[in-house]
Amino acid sequence: MDWYEQLAHLLPPKARVAVLGVGSELCGDDAAGMAVAKNLAESALPPEITVFMGSTAPENFTGQIKKADPQYLLVVDAAYLDRETGAVSLVDSETIDGMGFSTHMLPLKVMFAYLRREMDVHILCLGMQPGGTDFASPMSEAMAAAVREVSAKLNRLFARS
């Protein structure tokens, strides 16, 4: 089962979902999560879907995420999956510590533990394998294609009735 089928199986229709895009827009493929979040934010999403642009300090959005009161938090970020550039996987949020997600101000594992203590939320992570993440580098074509595909599939998933 691919990431989309897994996510479609996990998310019930009309579930309250917060999408948190994470990554540095200045570091090539590390911007993937932010690009997906931006695409979603510019779409006509149902009211039960909220999008946050977490950038390199997603922990700054914990208050807004709590206020949105989602049933599910979907974190989209570049992650080292030992696959080809642009590969996408649904990653168990409990295993993030060893996954090598891109650098953030506060480790995602710490933010996830805080959110789980503060609210009843299922945390899902969509990892996208980066190629180059050098400062001031452009996003690779393989990652740009993955961003377009992920954005389109998430829009389709969120639009289900």
Residue 102: pLDDT over 60: no
pLDDT at 101: 45
pLDDT at 16 > cutoff 80: yes
Query: How far is residue 92's CA from residue 103's CA, in Å, rounded to a whole number?
Result: 18
pLDDT at 108: 85
Domain count, the chain: 1
Residue 67 has pLDDT above 50, yes or no: yes
Mean of pLDDT values over 40-69:
95
Residue 125 in domain: yes
Q: Confirm whether 70 is domain-assigned.
A: yes
157 belongs to a structural domain: no
SS (H, E, C) the chain: CCHHHHHHHHCCCCCCEEEEEECCCCEHHHHHHHHHHHHHHCCCCCCCEEEEEEECCHHHHHHHHHHHCCCEEEEEEEECCCCCCCCEEEEEHHHHHHCCECCCCCCHHHHHHHHHHHCCCEEEEEEECCCCCCCCECCCHHHHHHHHHHHHHHHHHHCCC
Checking if the pLDDT of 141 tops 50, the result is yes
**Distance of alpha carbon 23 from the chain centroid:** 9
Q: Domain range spanning residue 38?
A: 15-92+100-130
Specify the pLDDT at position 109. 84
Q: How far is CA 73 from CA 20, 96, 120, in A?
A: 7, 14, 10
- Does a structural domain hold residue 77? yes
Residue 142 counted as domain residue: no
What is the pLDDT at residue 105?
61
Answer whether residue 149 is part of any domain: no
150 located within any domain: no
Q: Name the burial class of residue 26, with classes exposed (0-12), middle (13-18) and buried (19+) by CB atoms within 10 angstroms of its CB.
A: middle
Is the pLDDT reported for residue 103 higher than 60? no
**Per-residue pLDDT averaged across 27-50, rounded?**
96
Distances (CA, A) of 81 to 17, 39, 61, 64, 126: 24, 23, 26, 29, 11
- Residue 69 lies inside a defined structural domain of this protein: yes
Q: What is the mean pLDDT of residues 18-47?
A: 95
> What is the reported pLDDT for 76?
97
The whole-number pLDDT of residue 96 equals: 63
What mean pLDDT, rounded, does the chain reach? 91
- pLDDT exceeding 90 applies to what percent of the chain? 78
Average pLDDT (127-154) is 95
Q: What is the CATH number of the domain that holds 115?
A: 3.40.50.1450
